[in-house]
């Protein structure tokens, strides 16, 4: 068959197997997307109806890329394939069947910020202090429970073993109740609610099982329990499942991904075949050899060995820096060198880091060296305040039960409706068990609210009613433009005339442009259509690949991408891997997989950088270099000499004057510093978290592995540096 000609033998064998379920273990750079797209095209060529094929991905970017590739192979027939992210595909199913679960089809989808805001309101309602736990922490824990399919009742029964847990269970329970009342679902519900739908309505589940004959799942190593259950629920004897992924790139355990879904696939799906794609087409031999030498240290994995026919290439450069400012300078200097040496563009270069907070020093250096950059996975466009404010208006026009969105815009722009008045209105709505929107219509019955404010609420309600009536008469772009104009948002930002307000002005204009583009591409598009689209956009989907910028991102954001030149920064213990000896074996293995993912983003040249000292959490930390550097085969490493400042002289550490440490009173006069590893005869091994005072009487706070936090006086501590 013509479409199979470009495949290697292993890829072709995996594509042609369509009579069994199969797992395709696709090593980094081995042509995973190519195999998936060719398999879908092959299925259609073999007589499968496009609408009988369900292809699930993790990003819109991946789904769109696959659609375009399939079109090039077989033409417009590709449009009939059910393809998208787990969340977008099952949101589509929920829209059609929402009423079976007591929702209206126009339900809102809450992103993380919306969820945190709702948790905050729930905690206020329950009079739970943020001293016990923050809304952020509670939301993260709720998301974790949902990812593991643990309901509030199950949490109380099986996991709550303290009064604090009971309070969290109260928050979790009321949070779900308020979501339902708001006709809203959070991101995790888009996976849980379809399971509930199929369990409560076997005929609906049977209908979708009858529609699909082949299910394909990309990045299967990143699936959580709910995603696993959905795939199982849509599978029958006649439906085949093909999953593609790489257990060595399973890096989302912290948000519920379960690597055992990948490792146990052949146990879970009878007669399933395994195919391994081990030829790498991305990286040079040295990069690949280094990556293999690290990941082989993991015990919990599917055995494989990546190889390549590409040239040996440059060795991996390791740079030791004095602090994070020096590290940023060294990276900027080498970016200029690589651009000149390889004749490449800035968009061929990426700087990767473990945590977002590392970007500040890097940004400073790039600005200083006049190197333009883009940050991927920072504050995403649709999560910026001014954009979310306008989207909140659209959400209320679409769904008047969306209390969170209504509360967000109640006093935006300023209309004199303060928090006290809002709280009284909320109390009224709770007392009468009516929506907040309906409370606005009865504002004059809320006698605790001043007459002046009652009139402001009435005017606001009339404004909303006007646009609710107009939403079916105007196009989405006309409606939004008229609303923004009447609100005076652009005029307000322009008149403020600050740097910040002008950025907000530009972002609102960009939102209007996005809506205009959407309405041109999707004729007759409604508010619901647009909101469903933007609610599922991720930071990686907004990455501008054509722009000439150095790309800065976390390693998690970089998964699935590749660059000719990659700088992997911040390679110190406690930063990467995070929490060194306090981690379990499973945590360390995931950190090592993350390092492997970073390693294999590089095509031609890889730099590994680490700093002797780094300012973290308000203090200077002195860490050893990451163990992962030392796990790389030394034959592929080029250890650069100690860094020097621009003048060529040995650069003084940025922190030498800020923090000098505390001398050990013992004979060899060693120095204790924040971040130092120490041992104590009784308490064992620990890490210095803080030092108060100086000299022999300095107080040293140490987090011991087995005995928790202890504060010792330097003179009597009898510590030994590890």
Active site residues: 32-33, 218-219, 249, 601
- The helix or strand, by DSSP H or E, that contains position 45, with its residue range, turns out to be helix 32-45
Q: SS3 letters for 613-680?
A: EEEECCEEEECCECHHHHHCCHHHEEECCCCECCCCCECCCCCCCCCCCEECCCCCCCEECCCCEEEE
Say what angle helices 32-45 and 60-74 make with each other, to 10 degrees. Answer: 50
Measured between alpha carbons, how far is 682 from 412 in angstroms, rounded to an integer?
59
Measured between alpha carbons, how far is 35 from 7 in angstroms, rounded to an integer?
8
Distances (CA, A) of 14 to 9, 346, 465, 612: 9, 37, 57, 47
> Of 365, 373, 367, 350, which is closest to residue 645 (Cα–Cα)?
365
Measured between alpha carbons, how far is 674 from 688 in angstroms, rounded to an integer?
5
> Of 189, 309, 295, 208, which is closest to residue 250 (Cα–Cα)?
295
Q: SS3 letters for 558-589?
A: HCCCCEEEEEECCCECEECCECHHHCCHHHHH
CA dihedral 242, 248, 251, 253 (to 10 degrees): 70
Distances (CA, A) of 171 to 125, 135, 602: 9, 10, 44
3-state class (DSSP) for residue 550: strand
Query: Among positive and negative, which fits the CA dihedral 448, 452, 457, 462?
Result: positive
Cβ burial of 630 (10 Å; 0-12, 13-18, 19+) is exposed
Cβ burial of 125 (10 Å; 0-12, 13-18, 19+) is middle
Measured between alpha carbons, how far is 396 from 280 in angstroms, rounded to an integer?
49
Q: Taking the chain, what is the end-to-end CA distance rounded to the nearest angstrom? A: 63
Measured between alpha carbons, how far is 441 from 463 in angstroms, rounded to an integer?
12
Q: Which residues contact 527 (CB under 8 A, 6 or more apart)?
A: 394, 397, 398, 471, 476, 479
Structure tokens at 395: 């959400």
Measured between alpha carbons, how far is 599 from 318 in angstroms, rounded to an integer?
13
Distances (CA, A) of 106 to 60, 350, 405: 21, 40, 14
> Of 561, 558, 15, which is closest to residue 277 (Cα–Cα)?
15
Structure tokens at 534: 């933007």
DSSP single-letter state for residue 438:
H
DSSP single-letter state for residue 413:
S
The residue behind tokens 């399971």 is: 195
What are residue 258's phi and psi, to 5 degrees? -120, 105
> Of 378, 360, 361, 384, which is closest to residue 556 (Cα–Cα)?
378
Query: How much is the CA Rg of the chain, to the nearest whole Å?
Result: 28
For β-strands 316-321 and 637-639, DSSP reports them as parallel
Measured between alpha carbons, how far is 382 from 57 in angstroms, rounded to an integer?
21
DSSP single-letter state for residue 315:
P
Tell me the residue length of the chain: 722
Distances (CA, A) of 575 to 180, 242, 466: 40, 37, 53
């Amino acid at each position: 068959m013509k479409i199979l000609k470009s495949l290697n033998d292993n890829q072709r064998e995996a594509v042609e197997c369509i009579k069994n379920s199969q797992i395709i273990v696709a090593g980094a750079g081995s042509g995973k997307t190519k195999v998936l797209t060719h398999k879908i095209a092959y299925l259609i060529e073999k007589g499968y109806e496009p609408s009988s094929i369900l292809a699930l991905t993790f990003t819109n970017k991946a789904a769109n890329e696959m659609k375009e590739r399939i079109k090039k192979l077989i033409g417009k027939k590709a449009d009939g394939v059910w393809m998208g992210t787990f969340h977008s595909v099952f949101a589509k199913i929920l829209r059609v069947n929402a009423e079976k679960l007591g929702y209206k089809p126009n339900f809102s989808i809450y992103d993380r910020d919306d969820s945190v805001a709702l948790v905050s309101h729930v905690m206020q309602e329950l009079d739970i202090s943020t001293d016990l736990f923050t809304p952020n922490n509670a939301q993260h824990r709720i998301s974790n429970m949902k990812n593991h399919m643990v309901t509030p009742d199950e949490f109380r029964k099986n996991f709550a073993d303290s009064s604090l847990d009971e309070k969290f269970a109260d928050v979790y329970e009321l949070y779900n109740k308020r979501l339902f009342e708001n006709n809203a679902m959070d991101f995790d519900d888009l996976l849980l609610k379809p399971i509930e739908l199929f369990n409560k309505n076997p005929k609906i589940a049977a209908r979708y099982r009858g529609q699909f004959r082949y299910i394909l799942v990309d990045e299967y190593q990143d699936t959580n329990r709910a995603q696993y259950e959905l795939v199982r629920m849509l599978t029958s004897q006649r439906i085949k499942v093909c999953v593609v992924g790489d257990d060595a790139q399973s890096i989302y355990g912290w948000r519920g991904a379960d690597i055992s879904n990948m490792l146990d696939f052949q146990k879970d799906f009878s007669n399933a075949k395994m195919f391994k794609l081990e030829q790498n087409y991305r990286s040079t031999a040295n990069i690949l050899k280094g990556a293999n030498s690290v990941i082989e240290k993991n015990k919990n994995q599917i055995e494989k060995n990546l190889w390549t026919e590409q040239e040996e290439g440059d060795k991996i450069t390791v740079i030791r820096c004095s602090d994070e400012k020096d590290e940023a300078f060294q990276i900027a200097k080498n970016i200029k060198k690589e651009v000149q040496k390889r004749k490449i563009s800035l968009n061929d270069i990426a700087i990767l880091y473990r945590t977002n907070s590392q970007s500040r020093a890097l940004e400073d250096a790039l600005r200083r060296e006049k190197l333009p950059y883009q940050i991927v996975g920072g504050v995403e466009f649709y999560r910026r305040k001014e954009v979310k404010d306008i989207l909140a208006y659209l959400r209320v026009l679409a769904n008047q039960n969306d209390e969170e969105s209504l509360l967000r815009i109640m006093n935006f722009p300023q209309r004199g409706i303060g928090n006290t008045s809002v709280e009284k209105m909320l109390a009224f709505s709770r007392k009468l068990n009516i929506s907040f929107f309906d409370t606005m219509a009865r504002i004059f019955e809320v006698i605790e609210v001043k007459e002046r404010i009652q009139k402001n609420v009435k005017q606001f309600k009339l404004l909303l009613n006007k646009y609710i009536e107009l939403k079916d008469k105007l196009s989405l772009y006309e409606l939004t433009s008229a609303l923004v104009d009447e609100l005076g948002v652009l005029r307000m930002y322009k008149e403020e005339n600050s740097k910040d307000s002008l950025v907000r002005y530009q972002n609102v204009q960009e939102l209007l442009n996005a809506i205009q583009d959407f309405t041109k591409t999707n004729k007759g598009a409604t508010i619901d259509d647009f909101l469903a689209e933007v609610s599922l956009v991720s930071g990686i989907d907004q990455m501008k690949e054509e722009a000439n910028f150095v790309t800065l991102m976390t390693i998690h954001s970089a998964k699935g991408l590749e660059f000719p030149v990659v700088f992997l920064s911040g390679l110190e213990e406690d930063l990467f891997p995070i929490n060194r000896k306090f981690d379990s074996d499973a945590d360390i293995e995931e950190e090592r997989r993350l390092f492997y993912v970073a390693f294999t983003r590089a095509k031609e040249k890889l730099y590994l950088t680490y700093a002797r000292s780094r300012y973290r959490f308000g203090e200077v930390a002195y860490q050893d270099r990451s163990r992962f550097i030392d796990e790389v085969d030394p034959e592929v490493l080029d250890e650069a000499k100690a860094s020097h400042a621009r003048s060529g002289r040995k650069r003084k550490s940025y922190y030498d004057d800020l923090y000098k440490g505390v001398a050990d009173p013992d004979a060899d006069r060693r120095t204790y510093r924040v971040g130092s590893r120490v041992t104590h005869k009784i308490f064992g091994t620990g890490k210095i978290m803080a030092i108060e005072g100086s000299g022999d009487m300095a107080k040293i706070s140490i987090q011991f592995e087995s005995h928790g936090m202890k504060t010792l006086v330097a003179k009597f501590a009898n510590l030994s540096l590890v």
